[in-house]
């Protein structure tokens, strides 16, 4: 299985180094010297990592055969793609790759169906599960242990215990009048203080 692990940014210096936007929780494994990566567009690769280093908080890579700034700049916005075993699991406990979470059924603890995971959004503060509901609307669920209480890959489901208003934004007057509650999309900052016990990976 092929998964995106990074996106190449601008050239750094004059010797062929590039900045990269890391999209994996395991850069030391996926983006190590010697790693051979496919690319999107395919015509840019495959690329073999020659060196890697961190500079001012950014990962810098140099690829074999890319020795000057012009060649490095030509790779800008190229996606780096790693081949991984679909059965492979992350090293950390309670961590999952994006492809493992995609299409899982999302249910409440009592079994009530919420929808299915269609996307994982990686934000600086935490990850969000984008869940498509049966009526076609979407709801964003923070991927934190207090809310996503269980990931069962064998049963292909994610069990959630959402706080009031996350899944259904219903007010008491609406309920009294018999009006259906509207779906709400809760921003990630509502759960910034929650401890993230279930990281997902942005690609691999």
Please tell me which residue, 178 or 115, carries the higher pLDDT value. 115
Quote the pLDDT of residue 94. Answer: 65
Please tell me which residue, 163 or 204, carries the higher pLDDT value. 163
Using alpha carbons only, give the angle 60, 88, 94 rounded to the nearest 5 degrees.
Answer: 85
State pTM to two decimals: 0.51
- If you search the block for the tokens 């908080």, which residue do you land on? 57
d(C-alpha 204, C-alpha 193), whole Å? 26
Please tell me which residue, 5 or 177, carries the higher pLDDT value. 5
What letters, b where the CB count within 10 A reaches 16 and e where it falls short, cover 88-117? Answer: eebeeeebbbbbbbeebbbbeeeeeebbbb
> The tokens of 197 are what?
């016990």
Quote the pLDDT of residue 12. Answer: 94
Q: Is the pLDDT of residue 154 over 60?
A: yes
Show the beta-strand stretches assigned E in 47-199.
47-55, 58-63, 79-83, 96-97, 105-108, 113-122, 127-132, 138-142, 148-152, 157-160, 168-169, 182-183
Q: How confident is the model at residue 69 (pLDDT cuts 50, 70, 90)?
A: very high
Quote the pLDDT of residue 181. Answer: 36
Quote the pLDDT of residue 8. Answer: 94
């Amino acid at each position: 299985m092929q998964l995106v692990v990074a996106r190449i940014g601008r050239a750094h210096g004059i010797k062929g180094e590039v900045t990269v936007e890391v999209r994996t929780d395991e850069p030391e494994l996926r983006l190590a010297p010697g790693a051979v990566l496919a690319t999107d567009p395919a015509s840019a690769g495959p690329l073999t990592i020659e060196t890697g280093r961190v500079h001012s908080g950014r990962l810098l890579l140099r690829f074999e055969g890319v020795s000057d700034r012009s060649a490095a700049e030509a790779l800008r916005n190229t996606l780096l793609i790693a081949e991984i075993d679909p059965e492979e699991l992350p090293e950390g406990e309670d961590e999952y790759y994006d492809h493992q979470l995609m299409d899982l059924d999302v249910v409440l603890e009592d079994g009530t169906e919420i929808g299915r995971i269609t996307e994982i959004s990686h934000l600086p503060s935490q990850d969000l599960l984008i869940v498509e509901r049966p009526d076609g609307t979407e709801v964003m669920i923070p991927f934190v242990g207090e809310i996503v209480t269980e990931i069962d890959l064998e049963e292909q489901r994610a069990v959630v215990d959402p706080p009031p208003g996350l899944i259904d934004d219903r007010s008491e007057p609406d309920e009294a009048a018999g009006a259906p509650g509207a779906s709400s999309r809760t921003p990630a900052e509502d759960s910034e203080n929650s401890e993230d016990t279930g990281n997902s990976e942005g690609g691999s």
